Chain A
Amino acid sequence: MLPEFELLMPRTLPEALEMMNESSRVIPLAGGTSLLVDLRGRISRPQMLINIGGLDELRGVRVEEGYVVVGSAVTIADLKHNVLIAKHGQVLQQATRVFANPLVRNRATIGGNLAYGSPAADAAPPLLVLDAEVELTCKDAKRTVPLKEFITGVRETVRHPRELVTAIRWPILPEGSVGVFHKLGLRKADAISVLSIAVMLHRKNTEDYAQVRIALGAVAPTPIRVTPAEELLSGGPLTPEVIARAAQLASESTHAISDIRGSAAYRKRVITALVKRLLTNLAEGTKEKKHNESEGYHS
């Protein structure tokens, strides 16, 4: 059962930031799909929560000065249906389709997904390959941190207790970019990832790729970019040999974790298999628009 707690209900963002400024023990509550579970399980015991899920300033998706800007309280369900995301964040939208279940998606926010600092956050790998940044705001200041640097360990982020994640943003992709997301869970729906992968290709011409980005979730203490593999692939044509080597490298360069959902050894094996598969599919079919890569439940 949920323990008792106090709940602050700010009406505006400035009011929320004011309340957060008063004590470092005020904990933001967005969708509550992680926080309330932890309270119930007595994993965390905050005395005071602040409900930020309803703040208008944290809602909405917009394109601004060459960036896609997503408010931190935008829900996964919103993202799943958003036309701007369909255009500029296809790889993220793929992840929303296999995220939790419809009920959780309706409440879970993108800000909460990242701020929780879980290695298995499904929004993280797509956002990593989009080169996303996290906007952090406190009463008197605002800063932007690359997502790569935002999550520092299991349930650890660089967020200061008095700061809120207010937005997530990424530069609009150049023409010819194509991304793909794949989630491996122990069930097809409503499962936490054993492994998630996002891959993004930026195309120079049909043969060559200016850049390849690969991110992995749920395999290391934080969601990660696999730089060694990316470097190996970038610039050259994606031949089967290069892909095989990159896949191997992705696995070797990752310090995989063991947990209830799978062992490190299993994860390492599947990284190789899935990186290979995703890259091969992309290399062979970059002209076809649709990449129905997730084994998940599509609704």
Chain B
Amino acid sequence: MLHGRVLSSPYAHACVKRIDATAAEAIGAVVITFNDIPSVRYNERIITIPSVLHKDHYVLADKVRRMGEAVAAVAAETEELAEKAVRAIKVEYDVLPVLTDPIKAMKPGATPIYDTVLWGENEIEIEHNIACARSIEQGDVDRAFAEADVVVEGTFNLSKVYHAQMETKSAICRPEPNGGLTVWPTTQSIHNVRILLGQIFDIPLSKVNVKRVPIGGTFGSSIQMNPPIPICAALALKAHRPVKLTLTREEDAHDHTRYGEQIHLQLAAKKDGTLTGAKMEAIVDIGAHNIQAYSFLGVTVGWLVSLYKIPNVRYHGTAVYTNKAPSCAMQGFGNPQVTFATESLIEELAEKLDIDSLELRLKNYVGLGDTFWGQGPLVRSIVESDGVPELLHRGAEAIGWSDRPKSGSGTGRFRSGIGLGRGFHTSSAGAPQPGDVIDFSGAMVKLNVDGSVDVITALMDHGGGTLEALNRIVSEALCVPLDKVNMAPAETCSTVYDCVTHATRGVYAGGGAVLKAARTLREEILTTAAHYLNVQAHALTLKLNKDLEQGVVYTPSIPDRTMTLSELATRCWSESWKTIAAVESYRPVNCPPAYVTVFVEVKVDTWTGLVHTVKAVMGSDCGTVICPAMAIGQLEGGLSKGAGYALYESNAWSTDGQLVSGGYWIDSKTSGISETPHIDAFTAGFAHTYEPSGPFGAKGIGEAAINPVAAAYANAIHNAIGIRFYELPITPEKVLIALKKKERIHG
């Protein structure tokens, strides 16, 4: 196997004039540049339907638009040799002005980052560096504001933080004798990687086989096909040898981030607290590539109107190119940003109206029976399970909500405060009709001769325990002991399509698919057994026999008409009949909200500005809890990542488009175990709900776990020191400046 390295641009914006790779080739490396790759423009993320998909990406760049973008790549016998070779390549650049501020990037006369991109199959011009924009309006907004008793507003600035996932992006590609490729990538969707590689390199999909590799985390950063994957494929195809390519952490940090955003939000309400209108303006910093800005703009308002019932809404969102790392989904896909803004203003509104903010939330939240379109205007469904009141009341009790201090009343060096944030995420992006987002899963289930079961799905697990939950669903549906359910290794050539593990859909939609396949299998088990037992199939049923440690088919009224699954499958085999197996595709027709509430207690050190987490109470409504330990883990992780977003991670960029931290983690400030509240000070609870559309009543949890966390922190800090922060992260320095300003004003 050869080892690959990429030649990363040292400039954030430049045209590549000339590349001289002779020295690299002289030391035995295989080199690829823009001239060696297919001239196919693509979008790394193919969740959006083809007709509205923006495409601006090539495997290698002849114009670099962010620091570290790959202009060439090499493969050599060792990684050291590859590194030497990559350093031997000489590149001449025409350096262009760098745009890091989206507002400046939109100004007339700003250097264009793109001239044109593809939208669907059409070439469109990019003006003022605006990748796309969306306006959505419902109701009579002007009237709502004119007739409002009170209006609150704020401009919120959200940082473009790094995913900080466990492993950096990586791939191994092996060229096959038939002209095809076998690929082991870091991805959240093996099938989408396959489709893209087939399209880019013009290889029939039957010859592209992508394997599922266990990965430790992505937080959304591998929904798209990460750049090293096609680069590695191009190297392998040119070298005719397998190649491995892995980004360094510093390279990875420049490769993907959360969407940076400025949100201007206004909420209008009546005296009694009824929300009547909202105006929202979002300027979204998408970085150097448009990975999914169009759907991002759609969900941005979707999160707002699905959090609270707001009949009259005017929204305009603009996605702007800058010379920074491409923004992509990151745990919540815009939802933490919108929830931070909304939950901050809800608190302000409650204060203005002198209503308990918890009551204000209960009065206005989108719950049971309400229409819900979190995933954008085309993904509508009705809420059928709702644990919000339970979560709010239980959480309030556990944290001591009613005893919390009056905002800003504290004195002395340390001031404590309690904050609340509530939010949700959609479980999948399913809906009755197809929208602009592709969302369906597939699965196969088969019965082995010993009564054990294989589950075959392309669904990915990024360390959250998704596949373990699927095993449990199959075990339950087929009455087979859990340890006899096997999650088969997956590759694209032997699995049916699964779109991607994202949108908090793994258990709900991926699990829905295995459940559908398991139920079909169950029918086939019963009809096959009916044949042997001479009983009507619909008179038969299944149960788990714990003594035999397997499932048995039986009919309650005739005790001797029974056989174990092993006996059944063995007969089908020894009589040369068949394998009992089922394959299904499953489109969720709903995308129910997985609700989460977070109460945090903080202690603010007014001498240093440091904010300490004293206590946290998290509540989740994920319907039926399939793996309790894993679900609690998701909540703990959400709190930790959310605290990082709220307090620590700034991920600032210098004006030349370089990460100020240089990509080194020591200064990137994800929160670690020392920042996490002590285990005794963390409480997780689950609502007692059942989601009718989910597998055994389950919904999702993953992204919901982070969405309200930053808001809860901001509200807690406000409660402690009487100061509201509109910008994340709320660093010690910002706290001190604000305290000083407040002192000046109030003497």
Listed in ascending order, the chain A residues whose CB lies under 8 Å from chain B are: 1, 3-4, 37, 40-41, 184, 186-192, 194, 260-263, 266, 269-270, 273-274, 277, 295-297
How far apart are the CA atoms of A190 and B736 in the complex, in Å?
23
* Interface size grouping (class) on chain B: 20 to 34
A1 and B5 within 8 A (CB): yes
Q: List residues of chain B with CB within 8 A of the CB of A191.
A: 666, 669
Complex interface: chain A residues within 8 A of B87 (CB): 3
Query: Is A41 within 8 A of B648, CB to CB?
Result: no
Distance between B657 CB and nearest chain A CB, rounded to angstroms: 16
Q: B5 to chain A: which residues have CB within 8 Å?
A: 1
The contact sample of 14 A-B pairs, CB cut-off 8 A, is A3-B83, A4-B80, A41-B250, A186-B648, A186-B732, A189-B673, A190-B666, A260-B652, A260-B660, A260-B661, A261-B667, A263-B733, A269-B740, A277-B607
**A262 CA to B610 CA, complexed, in Å:** 13
- B:647-666 near A, CB below 8 Å: 648, 652, 660-662, 664, 666
Task: Give the chain B neighbours of A194 by CB distance below 8 A.
Answer: 732
Give the shortest distance, in Å, between B166 (CB) and chain A (any CB). 16
Q: With A1-B83, A4-B80 given, is the CB distance from A269 to B648 under 8 Å?
A: no
Chain A CB within 8 A of B84 CB? yes
In the complex the two chains form, is A187's CB within 8 Å of B610's CB?
no
User: Would A37 and B664 count as touching, CB distance under 8 A?
Assistant: yes
Nearest chain A CB to B589 CB, angstrom units: 45
Min distance, Cβ B473 to any Cβ of chain A, angstroms: 39
The secondary-structure label for the interface of chain A is loop
The reply to whether A270 and B250 form a contact with Cβ atoms under 8 Å apart is no
Alpha-carbon gap, A186 to B736, bound state (A):
14
Whether B83 contacts A187 by the Cβ 8 Å rule is no
Is the pair B608, A270 in contact by a Cβ cutoff of 8 Å? yes
B interface list, Cβ under 8 A from A: 5, 79-80, 83-84, 87, 248, 250, 607-610, 648, 652, 660-662, 664, 666-667, 669, 671-675, 731-733, 736-737, 740
Q: Could you tell me the distance between the alpha carbons of A269 and B661 in the complex, rounded to whole angstroms?
A: 24
Say whether A1 contacts B79, CB under 8 Å. yes
B736: chain A residues at CB < 8 Å are: 266, 269-270
Q: A260-B652, A270-B609 are in contact. List 7 more A-B contacts (CB 8 A).
A: A1-B80, A187-B671, A187-B675, A266-B733, A266-B737, A295-B610, A296-B674
- A40 / chain B contacts, CB cutoff of 8 Å: 250
Task: Report yes or no: B608 in contact with A184, Cβ–Cβ below 8 A.
Answer: yes
State whether B732 touches A266 (Cβ < 8 A): yes
Residues of A within 8 A of B250 (CB): 40-41
Contacts of A297 in B (CB 8 A): 674
Say yes or no: A273 contacts B669, CB within 8 Å. no
- Given contacts A262-B733, A266-B733, are A188 and B608 in contact (CB under 8 A)? no
- Collect the chain A residues with CB atoms within 8 Å of residue B661's CB: 260
Contact of B667 with A192 in the complex, beta carbons under 8 Å: yes
Q: Is there contact, CB below 8 Å, between B248 and A273?
A: no
| A190 contacts B667, C-beta separation under 8 Å | no
- Asked whether, in the complex, the Cβ of A189 is within 8 Å of the Cβ of B607, the reply is no
What are the nearest 8 A-B pairs in CB distance? A273-B607, A188-B674, A189-B674, A266-B733, A297-B674, A1-B83, A260-B660, A270-B608
**Residues of A contacting B737 in the complex (Cβ-Cβ under 8 angstroms):** 266
**A260 vs B84: C-alpha distance in the bound complex, in angstroms?**
31
- State A263–B731 Cα separation when bound (angstroms): 12
Nearest-neighbour CB distance to chain B for A270, whole angstroms, equals 5
Alpha-carbon distance A194/B667, docked complex (angstroms)? 11
CB atoms of B672 and A260 under 8 A apart: no
CB distance from B670 to the nearest CB of A (A): 9
Contacts of A190 in B (CB 8 A): 666, 672
Q: Which residues of B contact A277 (CB under 8 A)?
A: 607
How many whole Å from A72's CB to the nearest CB in chain B? 23
A187 to B643 Cα, complex, angstroms: 11
Contacts of A269 in B (CB 8 A): 736, 740
Interface centre among B80, B610, B733, B740 (most CB of A within 10 A): B733
| Inter-chain contacts of B669 with A (CB < 8 A) | 186-187, 191
Find B667's partner among A41, A260, A295, A296 (CB 8 Å cutoff).
A260
B740: chain A residues at CB < 8 Å are: 269
**Minimum CB–CB distance for B4 against chain A, Å:** 12
Contact B662 A189, beta carbon cutoff 8 Å: no
Chain A: minimal CB distance from B251 (Å): 10
Question: In whole Å, how far is A22's beta carbon from the nearest beta carbon of chain B?
Answer: 26
Complexed CA–CA distance, A269 and B736 (Å):
9
Chain A residues with CB below 8 A from B83, complex form: 1, 3
Contact A41 B672 (CB under 8 A): no
CB distance from A213 to the nearest CB of B (A): 22
How far, in Å, is A131 (CB) from chain B's closest CB? 28
* B612, closest chain A residue (CB): A295
